[in-house]
Amino acid sequence: MKPWRSLKKLRSLKRLVGIPSDEPVPAPHHEPENAEFQFMPTPAQQPRALDCEYRLEIISAYGRVLEQCASAVEPEAALPFPKELIRQAIYDELAENPETDLREHLEIAFVRLESFLPSEEFEIVHNFKLADSLAREMAKSGIPGDIISSARILKGVKGERAVEIQEKVSEEMQKRLEQIRATGSSGLQGREYS
């Protein structure tokens, strides 16, 4: 752009914003380099307290997802709320109402939350299960070539990694079961779940 055109545009812009054209444009305000940006969330972005109504909303939505589960592991993306928020809602509900008739269901839901995996881990486990099913069918024939092919299929789908992920899920589920069963006993009221 030619310098005279940018000057002309600057003068037009000054007129639009009410600055006399002979007055210099004020320099932009710059924060010091070490200043931290303070994010101020709008009321809609601020986290809601886990009051009874909100907890029940979270737990109900999660329960609807659980009703649709067809596999031992599911993608974390299928959850209606972040995993930690669901966990906190169930924990708080049981801490506040330890004698609820739904206690057993809530404990199972709390533990089952561990089986919702990040997409990469879910894909590894899911693909391994599909390959395992196919490999078993092939190996049933008893033909040596089919047996060797079935072993190659399993090796190609990160079988060891899939088993590691499933073992990790199982261990985490056991820890969560112990943790949630302790909820509501004296001395644990109000304690964080992490």
54 burial (CB, 10 Å; 0-12 / 13-18 / 19+) is middle
- On the question of pLDDT at 25 being above 50, the answer is no
Cβ partners under 8 Å of residue 165, min gap 6: 117, 121, 124, 125
CA-derived radius of gyration, the chain: 29
Taking only the tens place, the pLDDT of each residue in 84-98 is 999 999 999 998 988
Taking only the tens place, the pLDDT of each residue in 130-146 is 888 888 888 888 888 88
Q: What is the pTM of this model?
A: 0.64
- On the question of pLDDT at 23 being above 70, the answer is no
Taking only the tens place, the pLDDT of each residue in 96-125 is 988 889 999 999 999 999 999 999 999 999
* pLDDT computed for residue 164 by the predictor: 94
> Is 89 within 8 Å of 55 (Cβ atoms)?
yes
* pLDDT computed for residue 155 by the predictor: 73
> Is 155 within 8 Å of 161 (Cβ atoms)?
no
* pLDDT computed for residue 190 by the predictor: 43
Residue 184's pLDDT band, with cuts at 50, 70 and 90, is low
CA pair distance 146, 140, nearest whole angstrom: 9
- On the question of pLDDT at 81 being above 80, the answer is yes
- On the question of pLDDT at 128 being above 70, the answer is yes
